[in-house]
Amino acid sequence: MAMTDRVEIFTDGACRGNPGPGGWAALLRYADTQRSIRGAEAHTTNNRMELMAAIEGLAALRRPCKVTLTTDSEYVRQGITRWIVGWKRRGWTRAGNRPVLNVDLWQRLDALNEGHEVSWRWVKGHSGHAENEAVDRAANEAIDEMLLKSNKGGGKKP
């Protein structure tokens, strides 16, 4: 893929309790190829999972691309397109000199975002958008799989 290659990425994060066990998923579409990725964490927040979905979606790209990334998280979309400029200017602090929450993930997302030409799109969650519904299901399945493994003694306890 070259920078002229166009990729669509659809992302979602889920959390049972906030904090609690959480999952993320991304659906990548390039030409006629589609790929889904997902993961889970035992103790996290919904915002961290939304960020992880975008991070992992962009990290899956092997070279710079033109990306349309669709998320149902205004936190992610506003953060990466608007708020991050001020955070970086103020040394990763928010108004009132308060630290940026999830700064580790924001810094990773920022670095990945710089490597691509990304158009960030928002879609209302749980509104019948086919790809958003698919990544929502996948994020929840990732949580289920993690919890099942932990109940069998094969994974981290939530």
The CATH number given to whatever domain includes residue 17 is: 3.30.420.10
pLDDT along the chain (158 residues), means of 10: 80 97 98 96 98 99 97 98 97 94 98 98 95 98 96 59
Catalytic option among 50, 56, 57, 116: 50
Catalytic option among 91, 96, 126, 154: 126
pLDDT of the residue at 152: 81
Contact indicator for 20, 52 with CB cutoff of 8 Å = no
Find the domain containing 69 and state its range: 6-151
Residue 157 lies in a domain: no
* Alpha carbons 2 and 138: distance in angstroms, whole number: 29
Write down the residue that tokens 């589609």 correspond to.
34
The yes-or-no answer on residue 50 being catalytic is yes
Residue 73 lies in a domain: yes
The yes-or-no answer on residue 5 being catalytic is no
Catalytic option among 12, 22, 39, 57: 12
pLDDT of the residue at 153: 66
Residue 26 lies in a domain: yes
pLDDT of the residue at 4: 65
* Alpha carbons 34 and 28: distance in angstroms, whole number: 6
Catalytic option among 56, 57, 79, 136: 136
Specify the 3-state DSSP secondary structure of 126: coil
pLDDT of the residue at 105: 99
What pTM was estimated for this model as a whole?
0.93
Residue 158 lies in a domain: no
Q: How many domains does the chain have?
A: 1
Residue 1 lies in a domain: no
